[in-house]
Amino acid sequence: MNNNEILSTCYTKSVEAYMGGQGYEGSNSGCYSGDAIKRMREIAKACKIKGVTFSRHTYSGGSSISIKVKLLPGDVRDYDEIAEQIENADFLHICQRHWMSDPAIIRPNCNYLVDNFWKETAERQKELLHHWGVEWYKMMASGNGSSIMHYWQLDQKKNPCFTEQFFDRWNAIGKIVSSHNYDHSNAMVDYFDVNFYEHWYIINKLAA
């Protein structure tokens, strides 16, 4: 398969082919973060990955790299495509929550005690699940306001609002970043040892 065929197939294969044996996790982890970010930009550009920016921040004792991934046309599914999956008590983790918003209140703000959900009629439960499903979808599809510490925390099964197109690009970028990082941390003893910290952001310019 030549480079043009790879690039027309998917980003992950393009990155793997471009990086070759250097594409596995942590393979370039000894690389200084200042050089690493230059390398990341170089690989992303060579593999024609659109809508991603890298920025580096340094501080006493370490550095971090922020990865901002912009949502592009075709990256977000229509709500109707995934409504059946989302409007589900298990998917929305209702059993693990105490308060949710109530569509019957003009200014909803965590004002519905979820324990009451199981006492509602089937019709009312359906109404609440739809309301909470739409709210979850809007939050995810608008891009997150806070950073995701590692790209793999965005699980495809738990985030069906994003398309295969988006996850292909997301995972390709993840391969690039993770090949320049390592994590020898031990959270149990509050010990952190990484080449650099990662902060991932999803940016939705489409909703602006």
Higher pLDDT among residues 200 and 21, named by residue: 200
Residues 100 and 46 in one domain: no
Residues 154 and 51 in one domain: yes
Residues 29 and 52 in one domain: yes
Residues 64 and 89 in one domain: no
Of the residues 141, 161, 190, the one at which a domain ends: 141
CA terminus-to-terminus distance, the chain: 39
pLDDT average, residue stretch 5-32: 74
Q: Give residue-wise pLDDT tens across range 124-173.
A: 999 999 999 999 999 888 876 556 766 667 888 889 999 999 999 999 99
Instruction: For the chain, give the mean pLDDT.
Output: 86
Amino acid 3: pLDDT: 46
Nearest one of 191, 194, 192, 174 to 183, comparing CA atoms: 194
- Asked, for residue 169, whether it belongs to a domain, the answer is yes
190: left (phi over 0), alpha (psi -120 to 50) or beta: left
The SS3 call for residue 67 is strand
Number of helices (H), then strands (E), belonging to the chain: the values are: 6, 5
pLDDT average, residue stretch 52-58: 94
Amino acid 2: pLDDT: 47
Q: Give residue-wise pLDDT tens across range 164-199.
A: 999 999 999 999 998 999 888 777 766 778 889 899
Residues 151 and 198 in one domain: yes
Residues 66 and 150 in one domain: yes
Q: Give residue-wise pLDDT tens across range 72-128.
A: 999 999 999 999 999 999 999 999 989 999 988 887 778 899 999 999 999 999 999
Residue 9 has pLDDT above 70, yes or no: no
* Class of residue 205 by CB neighbours under 10 A (exposed 0-12, middle 13-18, buried 19+): exposed
Task: Indicate the helix (H) or strand (E) that contains 92.
Answer: none
Residue-range definition of the domain harbouring residue 158? 3-71+146-203
Longest dimension (CA), the chain: 61
For the chain, how many structural domains are there in total?
Answer: 2
DSSP alpha helices (H): ranges in 96-188?
Answer: 122-141, 164-178
- Whole-prediction pTM: 0.83
Residue 8 has pLDDT above 80, yes or no: no
Amino acid 28: pLDDT: 81
- Asked, for residue 208, whether it belongs to a domain, the answer is no
Percentage above 90 pLDDT, the chain? 53
The token pair at 26 is 């942590």
Residues 53 and 85 in one domain: no
Residue 4 has pLDDT above 60, yes or no: no
- Asked, for residue 198, whether it belongs to a domain, the answer is yes
